[in-house]
Homo-oligomer: A and B are copies of this chain.
Amino acid sequence: MRKVNIILVGYGNVGKAFLKLIQQKEEVCQEKYGLDLRVAAVVRRQKALIYCQPQKPGRVLEKLQDNVEGKNSANWEENVSLEEIIDTFQPGVLVECTPTDSKTGGPGLQYIRLALDRDWNVVTANKGPLVMDFQGLMDKARQKNLSLKISGATAAALPTIDVALNSLAGSEILKFEGIVNGTTNFILTKMGEGSNFSDALKEAQERGIAETDPSQDVDGWDTAYKVLLLTNAIFFTSKSLSDVKVQGITHINPALIQESQKEGKKLKLLGRMSRRGEDFSLEVVLEAINKTHPLFYVDGTEKGITFETDTMSTITVIGGKSDPTGTAAALLKDLINIYM
């Protein structure tokens, strides 16, 4: 049995779901994968829960659940830095779930750098740091023979990078197209059923699918981040956000939807990479696709990605839970695969 120390940074919806998941999966991790996951610290903003003896997830969760009920049995220490914490423990895995900030990378960027510097592996659900400095972070990880795994940031429970790197090993990926943002796909599906944009957005917000500020989604940026990260991860390129042509769905003419429906088509926001040799084209486009397109039936909040390859033909993957549990499951998958 291998003991794996975990530092969880970020304790929002995804961080909470992750902690709950590793408690629920404690036995599976031990028996199937030989991993004894121990929580060394939970870090949120300026506070941290630190366990000098890293604890089983269930123990940590107990304290934190008490806390929610106001009993405050979890001892959050104030004003501790990740740097102080990380040096206390035998390196393991930093699980990074702080909110995405794609302008500066946010604190997550410093956390990931620090973790790699101190010989910790990293799994992350945070696109910000990866959008800002993918190459730098990956180089750091490679130099130190560490893993930096990013499924949580690239469509989470929908397998994308795994399929590209493992299942298509030896094949050349000529193109991929993905419906990788649930919010926009939900809105487009609703508009296809007759809603207008603002009603559809409102419904998405009411159902907890879209955020209060939906601009990252509806302006196409979330899809752009994923196309960028997938491309850099699959091809070891160092493309940046400025290399992605980005289109959103806010200015759709309702007539366009009716027209495409008349032709038996559907409007979809596609994140697309296509290449000729080393010449890459990255874009987020609103496109009317027809029934023969492998993603035609990907509706609502569902996601999907299709790869065109030279030797294996087309491989399409569809599905995966689009919620904090799904993201947590993607983080756990990455964590397990570090040690397999």
Contact = CB atoms under 8 A, between A and B. Distances in A.
Contacts of A33: 169-170
Interface in A307-331: 311-321, 325-326, 328-330
B318 A294 contact: yes
A21 interface: yes
A301 to B, nearest CB: 11
Interface stretch (A55-63, A156-164, A249-257): A156-164
A24 to B, nearest CB: 8
Given A313-B157, A326-B312, A333 B162 contact: no
A25 interface: yes
A322 to B, nearest CB: 8
A163 B169 contact: no
A319 B294 CA distance: 9
A337 B25 contact: no
Nearest to A172: B28
A85 interface: no
Most chain B CB inside 10 Å of its own CB: which residue of A25, A297, A313, A321:
A313
Contact of A170 (B29, B306, B315): B29
A336 interface: yes
Interface string A144-162: 0000000000000111001
A311 B21 contact: yes
A171 B156 CA distance: 13
A313 B326 contact: yes
A166 B320 CA distance: 14
Contacts of A335: 170
Contact of A333 (B167, B314, B326, B330): B167
A340 interface: yes
B311 A168 contact: no
A162 B170 contact: no
Contacts of A314: 319-320
Contact of A315 (B311, B319, B332): B319
B169 A340 contact: yes
A321 B312 contact: yes
A68 to B, nearest CB: 22
Given A315-B157, A316-B317, A316-B318, A162 B167 contact: yes
Nearest to A236: B32
Nearest to A335: B170
Nearest to A317: B317
Contacts of A306: 319
Nearest to A314: B319
A315 B317 contact: yes
Nearest to A322: B313
Interface of A: 21, 25, 28-29, 33, 157-159, 162-163, 166-172, 294, 297, 306, 311-321, 325-326, 328-330, 332-333, 335-337, 340
15 contacts: A21-B311, A25-B170, A28-B170, A33-B170, A157-B312, A162-B163, A163-B163, A163-B167, A306-B319, A311-B325, A312-B321, A312-B329, A315-B317, A315-B319, A316-B319
